Structure formats: C-alpha cells, structure tokens
A and B are shown apart, each in its own frame.
Chain A
Amino acid sequence: MMDNHTLTLVVADAALIAPGLRRVHLRAADGARLPPAAPGAHITLSLPGADGARPLRNSYTLVSADPEHGYELIVRRADRSRGGSRHIHEALAPGDVIDATVPHNLFALHSQAKKHLLIGGGIGITPLLAFVARLRETGAPFELHQIASADEIGVFAALLAPRAGEQVHIHGGRTSLDLPALLAAQPLGTHVYTCGPAGLMDHVEAAAAGLGWPSSHVHREDFGAAGGEPFVLRLAASDIEIAVAGDQTMLEAIEAAGIDTPSLCRGGACGVCILPVRQGEPEHRDHFLSEAERAQGCHVMPCVSRSRSALLVLDI
C-alpha cells in the first residue's frame, strides 16, 4: 500500500438506522486490506452527480476503520443535496463499487491533552464516535456532550448505547447545554473538539475564547474544504475556457479539462503546481507564495487558491 492514490471500495452493507441516517460499510473491492486510519480521519468518495452531471466528491468521516473489516460511515440525507447524500440514500446498494481517496486526518486528537471534551451536534457525532472508541481504549479522561433535536434524542442515544457511560451526555437542543458553564469548569490542559453545524462550532469557539481558552486547545472538524464562488478560467496559451464550480478546485477543473499540469501536495505548500497569471485577481489560499509575491498577483497555486474576479486568465 505504498503508492495508492485511490481506493476502489465496494459497499458491503448499507442500512437505514434512523429516518435520514444511513450507515454504510465499505470494503476493498479486491478483498485486500485497507489502510488503517486515525480517529478523526475522513475519506472523499466520488459519487455520480445528479442526471449524469460531473461526479461529486464528498468527504465523510470514518466512524470506524479496520484494515480487514473495512470502513464504516454514517451519512445524513442533506435537505439541499447536490446529489451526494441523495445518491447514498436512494441508490447505493450492496455490491456497488465506489472510488475513494485514502483516509486523511485533519481532525486529530491532541497527544498532550490532560482531558478531551467532545461536543457534537447532530450528524457531527461521527468523528466523536471514533474518538470515544480510541479514548476508551487508552483510558484517557474525556467527556462527550451530544446535542440532538428533540425528535432525534432516541436516535443518538441508540448510536451511543454501545459506548454509554457516565462520560456520555445527550442534550435535547442547543439551549439545554450550558456551554459557558461546561467550558469554565474544565481543568487546565483540556482540549475541546467540536463537530456539527457551523453555528454550533462557531459558538463553541467563541465561548471558549471568551473564557480565555487559547485557540491551540480548540479543534473543529475541517475537511480542508476548497470551495467558494464559481468562476471562469481562461487558459490563454491553449485558448480554452473552463468553468470552475464552487465545490471544485482550479486544479481539479484544469485536470478535468484534460490538461496535464504538475502538482504534488495539493495543499498549497510545495509550490509545484504554480501557474502564471495574466489577468484577473487571484484569491490566494496557499502557504507557499510570500506576501510580496501575492501582492504582485503574477502567480497562483491552483490546488487551493481561487479567483476574486469572475474571470481569471492564466498563461498556459
């Protein structure tokens, strides 16, 4: 498993566990071992787009990952689905084959924490389930607070039942959890991890900051999303125009147009994908270009950066 860029997975099982929540078990299509994964890791699935549109790439947290028994996901049917979760809920069936990235972790447990405080909202429980399994194993102190809407308390209680214990609490609605009191009572050296609706995560971050928590102790789930406003890319030398969708990176769009361009880290760090800009205003999101280089606006890292102007013209 040294150079695997993508995994070919097969659906072993897909079951509705509550209205709108589907649990999916995936295994390697060829029956081989799958890469292990740390709690908090996610995979990105390539799912067919609605009505034959371009495939969608959706990231899902691994609830559990075992090289032999496979990966487990829980997917909520989104109200305004672009097709990804709708596909998983309506069409996905055992035996279906799906391409996925290898697991990647941007939401890791902190090795120096004296205590782990986990705060989930709704389907944001998925990485926390993986955390609890690990923390139970290592015996590290933790507390889990899961917020559920009143009609879903039973669903989350059932999900958490195998992991129940005095550290696990379920609250019906956000108002029933006194977040400032909870945060204020935490011993020195606590790290808080939150996953759920952006509003909840913002609220946790703000409350923690207000109580003097340093940001290094506050963690929120982040798939490293590359999204933003759609824009149009014109490649001057090859004389083509490409539409970059809101959920697609510039690099992905260029590749999808059949143009080969070098890349390495795909995270804005290595500088390999650098491209010259002829016209337009790049929105730099990389860690490679210096402030001065950004100000000049002559180059852009297409693996993470986007465009502020509706049209960006590149010299390739």
Chain B
Amino acid sequence: MTNRPRYAPLSPFAQARAHLLLCDGAAIPDDAFAPGHGLTDFPERWTVAGHALVMPQPFGAPSEQRFRSASHLLALLRHRLAAETMGLRIYAVGSEPFVWDVAKIAREAGMGREEMRLFACGAPERRVACVHCRTVNPGVTTTLVTCAGCGAVLTVRDHFSRVHNTWMGVQCDAEAPGEVPPVEDLCA
C-alpha cells in the first residue's frame, strides 16, 4: 500500500442540513455516484462553464450555478463558506487537483474530513512538487516529468500531500546520473 488518495463513489450524507456539489465542468461519469444515486440527489450544484453569461448566485436557492472558471468557482466557494452555519456537506467531482482545491478551501473554513466527499475522475492528472527546488509542476500525466524549475527529471513517489495538493517528485537518476527509466502514462 502507498499514500495514494482513494475515492469512493458519491452519495449524499444521511444526516445533514444542506448539500453542495462542486464540479469542474468535465463530464461526470456514471461511476462517480454510488448505485442508486446521481446528480438529482444534489439539487444545489456549482459547475464550470466557460461561456456562462448569467452571473452565478452563491447564496441563491438550490439550483445549478455556472462559473466562468475553476478559480472563479473556488473564490466564491470561500465567500459562501464564510457565511455558512454547521450542518453543510460538500462534494467535489472532477480532476484530482480540483477536488483537493475544494477540500483545502473547506478545511480552511473549519470543515473536517467527515464533512466532505471527493471523487476524482477523468484521465489522471497530478500536481508534482519538486522536493529539491520546491517548484510545483501542474498537469503532469506521465510517470516522469522534467521539473520546470531546476530541470531535474523527477519520478513521482506514491506519496500525496492533501495539505499542499501535490505529489512528491524526486530526481529519478540521482544515484546514477543518466539512468532514466522509460516514461509511461499515469494510470488511475
């Protein structure tokens, strides 16, 4: 076993006052929801739609709200949570970096792990932090990545920080310079 986050299909918490589902706009596969559950279980949904022309209502009645980007959605999530009371549950579905961005904002608002459910879907994509130079390399889809900061070829350890929302990248040929293993696509 390793320190990899694992995701369970979503279903609403049984005892909660309110539920808020956050999506990054990518297609949500059916297996994102537990059997018998689906989007309709979450009447209040926030999603990203680049072309949205209607301003989203962060405090409106439960319905679908469309945001211009993930950053836009996350900024208003912070705003919304600052005004919330106990009993709320949040759910995030989308790329792994997105769902952990949501988790971070929720944590900063005082929510614990028991108050959120996350489901990462789509092609695996990771933020990789170079342990040597601290540069965060976004959008990594392969087992090796050349660090944008220091140029080292990094392997990605099976070690994920939920606080930083990054995987640990370590120079792959430190012991024998030039001994670089073949690059492969990340698999889920």
Which residues from chain A sit less than 8 Å from chain B, CB to CB?
112-114, 183-190, 208-217
Contacts and interface: CB of A to CB of B under 8 A. Distances in A.
Contacts of A189: 109-111
Contacts of A217: 86, 112
B15 A188 contact: no
B16 interface: yes
A114 B15 CA distance: 22
A216 B89 contact: no
A189 B114 CA distance: 12
Contact of A211 (B86, B107, B112, B115): B86
A188 B107 CA distance: 10
B117 to A, nearest CB: 12
Given A212-B16, A212-B18, A187 B86 contact: yes
A211 B86 CA distance: 8
Contact of A216 (B15, B18, B107, B112): B112
Interface in B85-138: 85-89, 107, 109-115
B87 A213 contact: yes
A27 B84 CA distance: 46
A112 B13 CA distance: 22
Contacts of B107: 112
B6 interface: no
Given A188-B84, A210-B15, A215 B114 contact: yes
B81 interface: yes
B51 interface: no
How would you classify the secondary structure of chain B's contact residues: helix, strand, loop or mixed?
loop
A209 B86 CA distance: 10
11 contacts: A112-B107, A184-B86, A188-B84, A188-B88, A189-B111, A208-B86, A212-B18, A212-B86, A214-B114, A215-B114, A216-B112
B85 A209 contact: no
Contacts of B114: 214-216
Interface residues of B, number: 20
B20 to A, nearest CB: 11
Given A211-B86, A212-B87, A217-B86, A114 B17 contact: no
A315 B105 CA distance: 55
Contacts of B85: 184-188
B110 A212 contact: no
Given A187-B86, A188-B86, A214-B115, A113 B110 contact: yes
A215 B18 CA distance: 16
Contacts of A216: 112-114
Contacts of A209: 15
Nearest to B110: A189
A149 B176 CA distance: 76
A212 B17 contact: yes
A188 B81 contact: yes
Contact of B89 (A183, A184, A212): A212
Given A113-B110, A215-B114, A216-B114, A190 B86 contact: yes
Given A208-B86, A210-B15, A211-B17, 13 more contacts: A112-B107, A112-B112, A114-B109, A184-B86, A186-B86, A187-B110, A188-B81, A189-B109, A189-B110, A212-B18, A212-B86, A216-B113, A216-B114
Contacts of B84: 187-188
Interface string B1-28: 0000000000001011110000000000
B16 A190 contact: no
A188 B115 CA distance: 10
A268 to B, nearest CB: 24
A16 B13 CA distance: 50
A190 B110 contact: yes
A31 to B, nearest CB: 44
Between B16, B85, B109, B113, the greatest number of chain A beta carbons within 10 A of the residue's beta carbon is seen for: B85
Nearest to B113: A216
Contacts of A215: 114
Nearest to A208: B86
A185 B84 CA distance: 9
A311 to B, nearest CB: 41
Nearest to B81: A188
A213 B86 contact: yes
Nearest to A210: B15
Contacts of B13: 212
Among A209, A210, A213, max chain B CB count under 10 A is at A213
B112 to A, nearest CB: 5
A259 B18 CA distance: 57
A214 B16 CA distance: 8
Nearest to A115: B110
